[in-house]
A = this chain, B = another copy of it.
Amino acid sequence: MWNYEKMSKKRVQCEIINRLLSFLASIRYNHRVIKKKEIMVLNAVERKIDQYVSELDDAYVASLYRKLPHGKRLRTKLILKIAGSDLKVVKTAATVEMIHAASLLHDDVIDDAYTRRGVVSLNASAGNKTAIMMGDILYSKAFFELCSISPEVAKVVSNAVVQLSLGELADVELSKKFHTNREAYLKMVYQKTASLMEASAESAAILAGKPRNAYRKYGHNLGMAFQMIDDILDITSDSKTLGKPALHDFLEGKVTLPYMYLYEVLAEEDREYLLSLYRKRLSADEALWIQSAMRKYEIIEKSYFEAKELIVEVIKLMESLGEKDLSNIAKEMIEREF
């Protein structure tokens, strides 16, 4: 069983091992070549997005795009790992990143978010209206380009955007009052977070002529686990590590799995106390009460175990397909800091 109290020490050990491995790897020619190629293809995706944006022939839009933070390009890395570096693959990654950026723009308007990836969000700096329109522009240009890549990929990706938009609405609805509807929550997580990861992996498999269902499963589980772990981190991390206040989800009305599980095991009186903290800006004592209760009833372990199960399933799946890198990406996900 994983023990979050020992994680900090474990993380230090991991860091040392990683740096050592990284040093060893750096003197191996083979690795250098692979790494260099990876960076080249990642750059090719950035250049493709720049090209798509410049084709819009609108200086203002181009200047707005330059202000958006790039993020980790997770979906691109996934696509490239599965499908290599053909032009169609680069184009698909570019459209998926534009769709992801568009969804974040609208997401930030919906959530009244004032920062994104550590910088001021576009809705905060240029207004909600500009953020909405910029989102529409990125969405539609991505759709337009998808039509020329592959009808199958276009279907898979546009279906993910349908799910994404439905998930955004479901998220707002589910955040209006406390609930313990696990099924509705998981459906929303699938729609809002997992669907585009799933579509990225499936599209890449289609382009590479690999078995699409297996890769679809991989993207799906990775996306679900990613969000479930994010939900846990909101409870266990300090504000500094998160870059936002801890226990922020509950304040925003988001009843994530740990809160449902905690509610279910609490006695009546404590349940009422928990409910009284819902959507409330918490004092240090109140926050501590939630965190202690989560610890006492081993809620974090239970929630983490669920995410881990999803990951273990796809680690096995990817190993059976000889996809060592993809299996490693999944492994890294369950080694994030708690």
Contacts and interface: CB of A to CB of B under 8 A. Distances in A.
How many of these chains are in the complex?
2
Contacts of A144: 155, 158-159, 161-162
Given A106-B136, A151-B151, A155-B147, A130 B61 contact: no
B136 A168 contact: yes
Contact of A172 (B110, B133, B146, B151): B133
Contacts of A106: 132-133, 136
Size category, A interface = 35 or more
A140 B155 contact: no
A139 interface: yes
B165 A136 contact: yes
A172 B128 CA distance: 12
A151 B148 CA distance: 8
Nearest to A136: B165
Where chain A touches its partner, the secondary structure class is helix
Interface string A139-168: 111011011100100110011011011101
Contacts of A170: 58
Interface in A33-73: 56, 58, 60-61
A129 interface: yes
A133 B169 contact: yes
Nearest to A141: B162
Given A130-B172, A136-B168, A144-B162, 20 more contacts: A56-B162, A58-B166, A60-B173, A61-B166, A106-B133, A106-B136, A128-B128, A129-B172, A133-B165, A133-B168, A133-B169, A136-B164, A137-B162, A137-B166, A139-B139, A140-B165, A143-B158, A144-B159, A146-B147, A147-B151
12 contacts: A56-B162, A60-B169, A61-B169, A109-B129, A133-B165, A136-B164, A137-B162, A139-B139, A139-B140, A140-B158, A143-B143, A144-B158
Interface of A: 56, 58, 60-61, 106, 109-110, 128-130, 132-134, 136-137, 139-141, 143-144, 146-148, 151, 154-155, 158-159, 161-162, 164-166, 168-170, 172-173
